[in-house]
Amino acid sequence: MKRIIALTGPTGAGKSVVGDIFRSLGIPVIDTDQVYHDLLIPPSGCLDDLVSAFGKTILKKDGTLDRSALSELVFADPDQLKKLNGITHLHVRRRVLEIISEMNEPTVCLDAPAILDSPIPWDTDKTISVLSDKELRLKRIMERDGLSREGAEKRMKAQHDDAFYASHSDLVLYNRSGTVDEALTELTDQLLPALKQWGVVD
């Protein structure tokens, strides 16, 4: 039975740095966002289910998903968003479990930003959230995604606050560093004691 550790947190907090730490320890990391994107490549059962639920208007002329059209349909309507999450999380979870079953390592990390909003249980062993100062997050998002401050703030406001992540986590990592190298050191110092306590590393 493999140990599954979920890695989550708001955008710009530093999940990717923590993912790199897991990889450096020999623990594979599955990017659930990438799994979702891969599942949408036609022919796709996930895409077929989305079309059945929301109609062909969410497709581009080439038969691929029109993300903008889907977003317009769901994000202003909580019921539609719930329907979307029900479909996508089911397919992503199924594919992730298939990937995990093919691995030999005893522990797997899931880079899963939306796992706390999942309408279906993921049965993870531990959940780790990465949090960071608002201004640092804003700076990272603006630099990473080429957004204005207003655009970055809008994206941040659409997510849960720190208290939500903290209350749903077995471990909270605080990324207070300005550079990637500093963050790597700071987050490693916070992460390793927990991994040793959980028996993940010696």
**What single-letter amino acid sits at 146?**
G
Residue 31 confidence (pLDDT): 97
Q: Do domains 1-28+108-196 and 34-102 have the same CATH topology?
A: yes
Mean per-residue pLDDT over the chain, rounded: 93
Given a cut of 90, whether residue 201 has pLDDT beyond it is yes
Question: What is the average per-residue pLDDT within 5-32?
Answer: 96
Question: What is the average per-residue pLDDT within 62-85?
Answer: 89
CA distance linking residue 149 with residue 14, whole number of Å: 18
Residue 133 confidence (pLDDT): 92
Angle between helices 67-74 and 78-101 (to 10 degrees): 130
Instruction: For residue 76, name the pLDDT band (cuts at 50, 70, 90).
Output: confident
Q: Where does 1-28+108-196 sit in CATH, by number?
A: 3.40.50.300
Given a cut of 80, whether residue 178 has pLDDT beyond it is no
CATH class of 34-102: alpha beta
Given a cut of 90, whether residue 180 has pLDDT beyond it is no
CB atoms within 10 A of CB 17: 20
Question: What is the average per-residue pLDDT within 57-82?
Answer: 89
**What single-letter amino acid sits at 127?**
T
Look at residue 65 and give its three-state secondary structure. strand
Residue 57 confidence (pLDDT): 94
Q: Any residues with CB less than 8 A from the CB of 8 and at least 6 apart, and which?
A: 15, 112, 113, 114, 115, 116, 127, 128, 129, 130, 165, 169
Instruction: For residue 176, name the pLDDT band (cuts at 50, 70, 90).
Output: very high
Residue 189 confidence (pLDDT): 97
Question: What is the average per-residue pLDDT within 123-147?
Answer: 92
pLDDT digits (tens, 9 = 90+) for 35-68: 999 999 999 999 999 999 999 999 999 999 999 8
Kindly provide the residue ranges of all beta strands, DSSP E only, lying in the chain, ordered along the sequence. 3-8, 29-31, 107-111, 126-132, 171-175
Domain map (residue ranges) of the chain: 1-28+108-196, 34-102
Residue 145 confidence (pLDDT): 86
